[in-house]
A and B are shown apart, each in its own frame.
Chain A
Amino acid sequence: MELEEISNRLTAWLVDDRALGDRVTNLRQLSGGFSQMMYAFDLHTTGAVQALVLRANRPEGQSITATDRFAEWEIVESLSAHGEIPIPKALLYDNGHALGVPCFIVEHVDGVTISQHFAAHPTQKTDRVADTLVDSLAAIHAVPPADLPVTLDRPTSWEGHIDSLIGKWRKLERTGLEPDPFVRYLANWLEANKPAAAPMRLVHGEVNNDNLLICPDGSMTVVDWEYAHIGDPREDLGWYRTVSASVPPDVMADNIDRVCERYRKISGLDEDVINPISIAYFGLLAGVSVYDTLIGAPATVELSDQAPVLAAYMSAVLASAQLGWLRVIDALDSNAATTGLASS
């Protein structure tokens, strides 16, 4: 869909149908929208301009992921109402009438991603950003599951949740165009090395440097909630580290003991639960949601030469990610052999 058409449809929705403003201007696509389409725009009302962001499904045939926009909206809306969570304020949802695809609108956050921040300040120390990240994640993980949308799945036990994630790795591996021994090896390793249990909490599900915005006042806002679920809070800590190994910086890397200590202090969880090894374990386990995205890419490419170039790219991302998983396993096995620190 061209920018002009999107702008016209937004105008019809927000100005004509909802009477929320006088006109829509300055529509531009935001980078970083691998999974969904993201656009920033201004909504003019009498004497004021509101900076907003549109988040929408990609049109059919161009989508890399198949996450539920309404489920994401419900979480964003509920956290937005909560008031203490670092998230853009939720404004409006549409199921496809306005743009032809499900979408929602949130307030624009004046900030830069961690990636952009450290690209502009490459020599700056990472400790303060690491502290802010820990504070943000701890706040998200402190939301009582009872405050979240009732439609969100509630795992009945920690053990069952972990087993279901490992089972998901195994099940997804069977859906690929070819058998994947890396994933089979990973699943066996995860089964053999479970850490101590933690309380089940809201998990963002895709914490990475491009989904974390640093605001001018130094605070942090967390965006892109399509993979949010109730699970083990270490999924977010671990997944951040895994992704940041490929897309630096890893602001936790130089501060990992400080990160663990700070998180333990805020959350009240013990050292046997929050430590660098258990976080690394969850870096591997939590990767299943992204594996879910990557595993279908080869078929998408083979089915149509009109497939998005991103789909072809995902096959190489998967090959690169597999090597990363093995590196983490090697490091954890070496650590266990050296220190005698094993999982429960």
Chain B
Amino acid sequence: MLTRPSLSSVLNVLSRATMDQAQAQDFSESSARDLFITSQMLAYVARRAEFEPSLMVAEIDIYEDLGDQVLREGLGDTDGISRALADLRTHRANEAGSSSSATAYALASEVLCLAIDAAFSATGSVHDAMVNAMRVREINQAAIVGDFVIGGR
């Protein structure tokens, strides 16, 4: 999932864009496009707000386990993965509030990135675990993307 930009930042932009259109003197093709985009984004933001927190927590655990597995196998940049896991665990030990969850998710995502580099060309259970982690991320992101369609040109 993509947790940035933050929900509050997106809502600020959408709010202002809607207000601009409401106050516009004329209604052009680009006005219609901006309203189309704004309506899509409001639905997208609603799905993020509903699903993101619980999905992030579940994914963080999976990525952390994967990082440990890669380390046990001694694959890839082991120093980098050790540091990334330590950063994640330190943060989680001090975690409080939703913004911390987004930070924890970013730190866990870095563990996953390093695990992908380490395990992509490997075989066996560590490769399967990496693929599974990616599959979970994909399924969760698909829930957030929902019926968003690229368009509005």
Q: Which of A10-18, A27-35, A82-90, A336-344 contacts B (4 or more CB under 8 A)?
A: A27-35
Residues of A within 8 A of B12 (CB): 305
B13 lies within 8 A of A312 (CB): yes
Residues of chain A touching chain B, judged by Cβ–Cβ distance below 8 Å, are 29-34, 115, 173, 176-182, 184-185, 188-189, 192, 210, 246-247, 297-299, 301-302, 305-313, 315-323, 326
Give which listed residue, A185, A297, A320, contacts B148 with CB less than 8 A. Answer: A320
Interface centre among A30, A311, A321, A322 (most CB of B within 10 A): A322
Which chain B positions have C-beta within 8 A of A32? 153
- The answer to whether A302 and B5 have CB atoms under 8 Å apart is yes
Is the CB–CB distance between B2 and A178 below 8 Å? yes
Complex Cα spacing A306 to B1, Å:
25
In the bound complex, do residue B41 and residue A323 qualify as a contact, i.e. CB atoms below 8 Å apart? no
- In the complex, the answer to whether A178 meets B13 with C-beta atoms within 8 Å is no
Counting CB contacts under 8 A, is B29 at the interface? yes
B13 engages A181 (CB within 8 Å): no
Q: Is the pair A312, B141 in contact by a Cβ cutoff of 8 Å? A: no
Contact B16 A312 (CB under 8 A): no
With A178-B109, A184-B116, A320-B150: A192-B121 Cβ-Cβ less than 8 Å? yes
Question: B4, A177: Cβ atoms under 8 Å?
Answer: yes
- Judging by beta carbons under 8 Å apart, are B13 and A319 in contact? no
Interface size class of B (residues with CB under 8 A): 35 or more
A184-B116, A317-B150 as given contacts; A178 in contact with B4, CB under 8 Å: yes
Complex CA–CA separation, A180 to B152 (angstroms): 26
Does the CB pair A298–B5 fall under 8 Å?
Answer: yes
B117 contacts across to A, CB distance below 8 A:
184, 188
Q: Contact between A319 and B113 (Cβ–Cβ < 8 Å)? A: no
Q: Decide if the interface of chain B is mainly helix, strand, loop or mixed.
A: helix
Q: Contact check: which of B30, B145, B148, B151 meets A29 at CB < 8 Å? A: B30
Asked if B4 and A192 make an inter-chain contact with CB atoms under 8 angstroms apart, the answer reads no
Q: Is B13 a contact partner of A307 (Cβ separation < 8 A)? A: yes
| Contact residue among A33, A181, A306, A318 (Cβ-Cβ distance under 8 Å from B137) | A181
- The answer to whether A316 and B148 touch across the interface, beta carbons within 8 angstroms, is yes
B124 to chain A, nearest CB (A): 17
Does the CB pair B9–A301 fall under 8 Å?
yes
Q: Which residues of B contact A (CB under 8 A)?
A: 1-6, 9-10, 12-14, 16-17, 28-30, 33-34, 37-38, 40-41, 44, 105-106, 109-110, 112-113, 116-117, 120-121, 133-134, 137-138, 141-142, 144-145, 148-153
Q: A179-B112, A181-B113, A305-B13 are in contact. List 13 more A-B contacts (CB 8 A).
A: A29-B29, A29-B30, A31-B29, A179-B109, A180-B109, A181-B134, A188-B120, A192-B121, A301-B10, A302-B4, A309-B13, A311-B13, A318-B2
Task: Say what secondary structure dominates the interface of chain A.
Answer: helix
Q: Which of A306, A307, A321 has the most CB of B within 10 A?
A: A307
State A30–B153 Cα separation when bound (angstroms). 10
Could you say which of A31, A307, A318 contacts B33, with CB atoms under 8 Å apart?
A31
Give bound CA distance, A320 to B6, whole Å: 17
Contact of B134 among A176, A178, A185, A301 (CB under 8 A): A185
Please determine whether B30 and A31 come into contact, CB atoms closer than 8 angstroms: yes
Distance of B25 from chain A, by nearest CB (Å): 10
Pairwise interchain contact A192-B41, C-beta atoms closer than 8 A: no
CA distance A177 to B141 in the complex (A): 17
Closest to A327 in B: B138
Q: Is the CB of B145 within 8 A of A323?
A: yes
Contact A312 B5 (CB under 8 A): yes
In this complex, what residue of A is CB-closest to B131? A185
Chain B residue nearest in CB terms to A320 = B145
Q: Nearest residue in B to A245 (C-beta to C-beta)?
A: B150
List of B residues within 8 angstroms of A322 by Cβ = 2, 141
Which among A30, A179, A316 is the interface contact of B44 at CB below 8 angstroms?
A316
A195 to B9, CA, bound (A): 42
Report whether B153 and A210 are in contact in the complex, using a CB–CB cutoff of 8 Å. Answer: yes
Q: Are B137 and A182 in contact (CB under 8 A)?
A: yes
Q: Which residue of A lies closest to B37 (CB)?
A: A313
Contact A246 B149 (CB under 8 A): yes
| Complexed CA–CA distance, A308 and B13 (Å) | 7
Could you tell me the distance between the alpha carbons of A302 and B13 in the complex, rounded to whole angstroms?
9
Q: List 5 A-B contacts (CB under 8 A).
A: A179-B113, A188-B121, A192-B120, A305-B9, A315-B10
Q: How far is the CB of A334 from chain B (nearest CB, A)?
A: 14
The reply to whether A309 and B34 form a contact with Cβ atoms under 8 Å apart is: yes
What is the bound-complex CA distance between A159 and B28, given in angstroms? 47
Within the complex, what minimum Cβ distance (angstroms) separates A37 from chain B? 10
Nearest chain A CB to B4 CB, angstrom units: 4
